[in-house]
Amino acid sequence: MSGKMKVVLKDKPGVGAVLAERDIPKIGPNDVLVKVLATSICGTDYHIYSWDEWSQKRIKPPRVMGHEFAGEVVEVGSNVKSVKVGDIVSAETHIVCGVCPLCTTGNAHICVNTKILGVDTDGTFAEYVAIPESNAWVNDKDVPVELLSIQEPLGNAVHTVLAGEIIGKSIAVVGCGPIGLMAVAVAKAASASKVIAIEVNEYRIELAKKMGADVVINPIKENVVDRVLEETSGYGVDVVAEMSGNVMAIQQAFKYIKLGGRMSLLGIPSKNVELDLANDIIFKGITIQGIVGRRMYNTWHQVKGLLASGNLNLEPIITHKLPLEEFEKGMELMKSGNCGKVVLYPNK
């Protein structure tokens, strides 16, 4: 396919991005070309847009932004076997080498040679995107494209919550940005006994309730450690799903996690976190897990199963739907925190 397409382009270093025109991507023999039907804004996209310290070190403009999406396959490479024209696909956004020791031992999600869609390669804030066949995930066409477009961040929530036992366990979800909100829904769908959400933004506090949180704690208004202990008969929560990256929130979580509990960390702190290793980790006998992306492709199968089950309440998370041209409005919503997932439509 040839021609031009509109894209959201990080055209140069600095704050912002532009709506631009680019050639429709050419695909190689192992690639597929996808018409983007829906693409959602991630916190990473906002980091790139706002040109924070991480972006300054990682992004090399010009770069088409975006990585969470669902779309229709319109062209396939000559070697492609598992995907066909007309399929509705999303993508595992970590493009891995497949040959390193991690990839060949079932740990491709932490491949040392990972490239990320929309970060290291041109992304999905565009009318069309080219992706490797091996990264294409064929979707159920009966699921709305808005929900299909958020499977990648949903996979982060699923990986975090289901990285250990959860049935009948109490869990604290720390930070109710979009992935934290999805973690609340995943924990409820997976039969956690009590889901405690911890969040400061009033808009997202209300969303957490809609997503199924049994208890919502605002650290500005309450002592988080005391309240969590109160809600758990003084023992603390079995599981902490840390999504905030906030230093104080992380330190507090180590105070209210139960002896022998599990701490699964997805949030990225902006600075080093000081911990009491003896009293908060060693003597408590807890397990600490770093969560990176989604397990390839175990997590995707879990996501598909949860969507098919009908037990996962995701409808409240889609709070805003915008044409691609209004991406700046979407970025401002992300900045304010007064949103769940913001979905852009490049082909409307």
Q: Which structural domains are found in the chain, ordered by start?
A: 4-150+314-345 (3.90.180.10), 157-290 (3.40.50.720)
What token pair was written down for 116? Answer: 């990320």
The pLDDT of residue 270: 86
CA distances from 197 to 34, 200, 208, 254, 310 (A): 37, 10, 7, 16, 22
Query: From its phi and psi, is residue 155 left (phi > 0), alpha (psi between -120 and 50) or beta?
Result: alpha
Catalytic residue set: 44, 47
Is 116 annotated as belonging to a binding site?
no
Is 179 annotated as belonging to a binding site?
yes
Is 330 annotated as belonging to a binding site?
no
Is 100 annotated as belonging to a binding site?
yes
Q: Could you count the other beta carbons within 10 Å of the beta carbon of residue 20?
A: 15
Task: Tell the burial category of 279 from Cβ atoms under 10 Å away from its Cβ (0-12, 13-18, 19+).
Answer: exposed
Is 268 annotated as belonging to a binding site?
yes
The pLDDT of residue 348: 80
Which residues fall within 8 angstroms of residue 315, CB to CB, at 6 or more apart? none
Residue with tokens 């996501």: 303
Average confidence (pLDDT) per 10 residues, the chain, 348 residues: 96 97 98 98 96 94 98 98 98 97 97 97 98 97 95 98 98 97 98 98 97 98 98 98 97 98 95 96 98 96 95 95 98 96 95
The pLDDT of residue 15: 97
Residue with tokens 């929560």: 237
Which contiguous run of DSSP H or E holds residue 217?
A: strand 215-217
Is 97 annotated as belonging to a binding site?
yes
Yes or no: say if 164 and 142 are a contact pair by the CB < 8 Å rule.
no
